[in-house]
Structure 1
Amino acid sequence: MKRVRILHYRDYLNQCATTVAKDQALIFEDMKRVDSRVAALVKVYSSYESHINTASERLHRIPELSHRLSHTHLLLNQTVDSLERLNNSLPVEHRLEPFVWTTG
């Protein structure tokens, strides 16, 4: 009788172990699918982050570029003024036509 109980108990444990092993295998497959999807999302968002960082760097350079442009415009105006003074200091017959500064 004791031996029969042991055999039943062993069969019961074997069934439980088989069920647990199957469930573990299903969970493992689900984990692999989730991991694959997460890896794909991380790759996509890393690409987005790279594009955003590049755009952000460009936006942060705008004030510096604006300052440089203003400074260049000032230097060009000073150069035109110097050219006008130089031109006006020449005798009338040697003067060039007035320089007209246009933008656009």
Structure 2
Amino acid sequence: EIPTFLPIMRGTLGLPGARDPEVLEGLDYRPWVRLTSRLQAHLAACAQPLAADQIALAGKVKEADTEVSRLYSQMVDKQRANARHAERLSRVHEVAHQLSRCNSLLNQTLQDIEELNLLLPEEKRLEPFVWSAER
């Protein structure tokens, strides 16, 4: 029951009469110009605060990048310092291990000397060795 209708611009269907003067007279462009001008003005008014915020954010991002670079540089320096300290600490552990090994070898040598001393005849024995840490 809906009546048949044709579009305003009949040329879109490939029908003759696309340049129908009656249709062209019925189309007024001025309201469209007003609408698009208002839309353009509205978008420009919205864009200006956004552009100002974007510029402010760009400055803050640059500050943040500078701060991150500074912190990264500090962390790299601290990592290098920690690596040097770790190297020194490993050398200290190595020296401590060597001293411990020397101490155990010295104790073993003293036991061996005492055993050898006990194997000697009584008149040729040496006095027992006393290790004193005093200087």
TM-score normalized with structure 2 length: 0.54
- Number of the residue aligned with 1:31: 75
Separation in 1, partners of 2:66, 2:118:
78
Partner residue of 1:46 out of 90, 95, 100? 90
Q: Which amino acid aligns with 2:100?
A: S
Deviation, 1:11, is 0.7
- Number of the residue aligned with 2:52: 8
Pick the structure with greater CA Rg. Answer: 2
Q: Deviations over 1:63-91 (max 9, x none)?
A: 3222211111122x14xx7xxxxxxxxxx
Deviation, 1:101, is 4.0
Deviation, 1:3, is 0.4
Gaps of 5+ in 1: 82-99
Aligned length: 82
Q: Deviations over 1:27-85 (max 9, x none)?
A: 0111111111111111111111110111012223333222211111122x14xx7xxxx
53-62 vs 6-15, greater mean Cα deviation: 53-62
Give runs of ≥4 in structure 1 deviating > 6 Å.
Answer: none
59-68 vs 19-28, greater mean Cα deviation: 59-68
Percent identical pairs in the alignment equals 9
Larger RCO: 1 or 2 (CA < 8 Å, sep 6+): 1
- Number of the residue aligned with 2:27: none
Separation in 2, partners of 1:101, 1:72:
11
Separation in 1, partners of 2:125, 2:105:
27
- Number of the residue aligned with 1:86: none
Gaps of 5+ in 2: 1-44, 127-135
Structure holding more helix per residue:
1
TM-score normalized with structure 1 length: 0.68
